[in-house]
Amino acid sequence: MSTAEHPLGFELLEPWVGLRDDGSALVAELKKELRTDSELYGLEAEAIAHRCDCDDVLFRISGRAKQYAVVHLTWSGKTDQNKGWPSTELFADAQDWREKCMVPDHEDYTA
């Protein structure tokens, strides 16, 4: 099992990994893909981590009660016509994301 220290204050578990750079390309893609009716549209986002096996990215979001979002980017470079893309799951804080997303993803990934 591979783990890496992370600024969230706990180790990331596979398949979640830290970013190799500042994440600006991930934020730029997020902004291209968000529809105006998305709950994240117009908010500041910072890429924190991503899954090594798919296009899920963990973003820290400013201006929301739920501070973290996992977004499945489509990498289309544009807004999707279908509502609900990119898919988004919100979490109250880093610990909420850890318990409800990272740990279950790890268990599935290593099963």
| CA separation for the pair 105, 31 (Å, rounded) | 25
What integer pLDDT is reported at residue 41 of this predicted model? 93
| CA separation for the pair 61, 92 (Å, rounded) | 10
CB 16 within 8 A of CB 51: yes
What integer pLDDT is reported at residue 3 of this predicted model? 44
Residue 106: CB partners within 8 Å, gap ≥ 6?
13, 14, 15, 16
What integer pLDDT is reported at residue 64 of this predicted model? 82
What integer pLDDT is reported at residue 68 of this predicted model? 96
Low-confidence stretches of the chain (pLDDT beneath 70): 1-7
Half-sphere exposure of 95 (CA within 13 A, CB side): 0
Predicted model pTM: 0.91
Please state the domain extents for the chain: 28-110
CB 34 within 8 A of CB 86: yes
What integer pLDDT is reported at residue 6 of this predicted model? 62
| CA separation for the pair 28, 98 (Å, rounded) | 25
What integer pLDDT is reported at residue 100 of this predicted model? 98
What integer pLDDT is reported at residue 9 of this predicted model? 80
